[in-house]
Amino acid sequence: MTKEPKSRWPGFFKLSVEERIGLLARHSGLGGAELTFLKDQEHLSRRTANHMIENCIGTFELPLGLAMNLRVDGVDRLVPLATEEPSVLAGLSKAARFLRRGAGITTTVTSPLMIGQVQILDVPDLGAARTRVLEARRALLEEANALDPRLVEVGGGAQDLEVRILPPEGDDDPVGTMFVVHLLVDVRDAMGANAVNTMAEQLAPRLEELTGGRVRLRILSNLADRRLVTARARVPVDLLASNGASGTGPDVALGIQEASVFAERDPYRAATHNKGIMNGIDGVLIALGQDWRAVESGAHAYAARSGRYRALSSWRARGDVLHGELELPLAVGTVGGIVDSHPAVRAGLAILGIKTAAELASIAAAVGLAQNLAALRALATEGIQRGHMRLHVRKVGLSAGATEEELPALIEELQRLGRADLDTARSVLASLRQGGA
């Protein structure tokens, strides 16, 4: 295989796990502790695990892979991804190979603003309460920021307050009008849940005084729609037909556009389309120790923001270029949480070569867009099962003892027979070695 630095190492998947780690070590500048983790599989210790959760009885593992070929905002990235699902890494790496030919994926990231909600009930005069809360904005923000001087020091902190009035929905709604305060907090490189929850809880008594109401919930919102990432990509359509996909490049691009519009129109298709996007994003988030449930719920709530659940991404064929775009909230952190305590997360950040939450959000969104392209291209051409089957047959062929040179003929024969079991692979291999099929 050709050895190249950066994220483009053709045939990486054909190496053994040890060879992959060796290559990574030589070319990524990975340091001692991270390398030890990968080489020796020095797992999360029971002691650390026991400090993370309650009633701990052990740890749970997933395969960790590397997504190849990704170029995000002009920088090559090797992306660690944890998943149990076959074909995610292969599809993603393949799509990233197309995308890098069209200048890669570019992203924009908004400020890392999280929302803390304070629910207030039984407010006697909603209009007067709103005026009093907004007039006290400066003092309330100062009170919130006094709780987290370190966050303010690094450029973050509570930035603003908003009031929302939620009337009852119909005659049988058991709860009267709610007065909801949104506290907007710039959480910098943290995911932000702790900082936001602490601030929301701190402001509650003062908000009760100002509104004359009764506070109930004080908690962040996972619909982090002030913390958005947009990933964009352009693929020359001619590339899409390569490697035996049915149809010419423009046909395939048209198929991807039709698949995209299906998901934009129909919630049944949008749910599956978005699941494909999250296949990639969740894998990155898990590998990097992020709260993927928070991102999942935010992504799906954002997909339904118009009142109807829709696709998070869209693809359009214009002339000889296919354009893709994905936008979603991504509340991730590179400080706090388990970032400092989990060896796999430290190794993951070192492999990515990043420090900030914004960089992590950009890479996760780029992975989501590339993963989406992989799935749509397969769905719009040969279908998803053929690729799955090729990967499976390849694994069976290797288990049967085939060399890289013997694999193509063995795979072809197994596919012709419609068989993918080990016994058949062994007997076909034996027959190939004797000169027959």
Cα–Cα distances (Å) from 221 to 299, 334, 396, in that order, read 12, 20, 46
d(CA 127, CA 108): 38
Of the candidate residues 7, 28, 83, 87, the single one contacting ligand HMG (CB under 6 A): 87
Of the candidate residues 252, 331, 349, 374, the single one contacting ligand HMG (CB under 6 A): 374
Nearer to ligand HMG, 26 or 275 (CB): 275
Q: Which amino acid is at 228?
A: L
Shortest reach from residue 18's CB to ligand HMG, in Å: 16
What dihedral angle (degrees, nearest 10) is formed by the CA atoms of 336, 339, 340, 344? Answer: 170
Nearer to ligand HMG, 35 or 379 (CB): 379
Shortest reach from residue 12's CB to ligand HMG, in Å: 6
Residues 256-295 that bind ligand HMG (CB under 6 A): 272-273, 275-276, 279
Shortest reach from residue 197's CB to ligand HMG, in Å: 34
Residue 55 in contact with ligand HMG, rule: CB under 6 A: no
The tokens for 205 are: 């008594």
Residue 85 bears catalytic tag? yes
- Our separate counts of H helices and E strands in the chain read 16, 10
Of the candidate residues 71, 77, 94, 130, the single one contacting ligand HMG (CB under 6 A): 94
Beta-strand runs (E) in 222-265: 228-236
Shortest reach from residue 412's CB to ligand HMG, in Å: 12
Of the candidate residues 44, 68, 215, 393, the single one contacting ligand HMG (CB under 6 A): 68
Q: Which residues pair with 321 in a beta bridge?
A: 236, 318
Nearer to ligand HMG, 303 or 338 (CB): 303
* H/E segment holding residue 70: strand 64-72
Q: Which of 266, 291, 325, 406 is catalytic?
A: 291
Residue 388 bears catalytic tag? yes
311 and 274 in contact (C-beta within 8 Å)?
Answer: yes
Nearer to ligand HMG, 5 or 11 (CB): 11
Interacting residues of 12 by C-beta distance below 8 A, sequence separation 6+: 1, 20, 23, 66, 68, 93
310 and 260 in contact (C-beta within 8 Å)?
Answer: no
Of the candidate residues 16, 243, 306, 434, the single one contacting ligand HMG (CB under 6 A): 243
Closest of 102, 383, 75 to residue 239, by C-alpha: 102
Residue 291 bears catalytic tag? yes
Q: Which one of the spans 326-334, 336-344, 362-370, 386-394 is the region binding ligand HMG (CB under 6 A)? A: 386-394
Q: Binders of ligand HMG: how many residues, by CB under 6 A?
A: 30
d(CA 156, CA 358): 14
Shortest reach from residue 351's CB to ligand HMG, in Å: 17
61 and 43 in contact (C-beta within 8 Å)?
Answer: yes
Residues labelled catalytic: 85, 275, 291, 388
Could you list the residues that contact ligand HMG (CB under 6 A)?
Answer: 10-13, 68-69, 85, 87-91, 93-94, 97, 243, 272-273, 275-276, 279, 374-375, 378-379, 384, 387, 390-391, 394
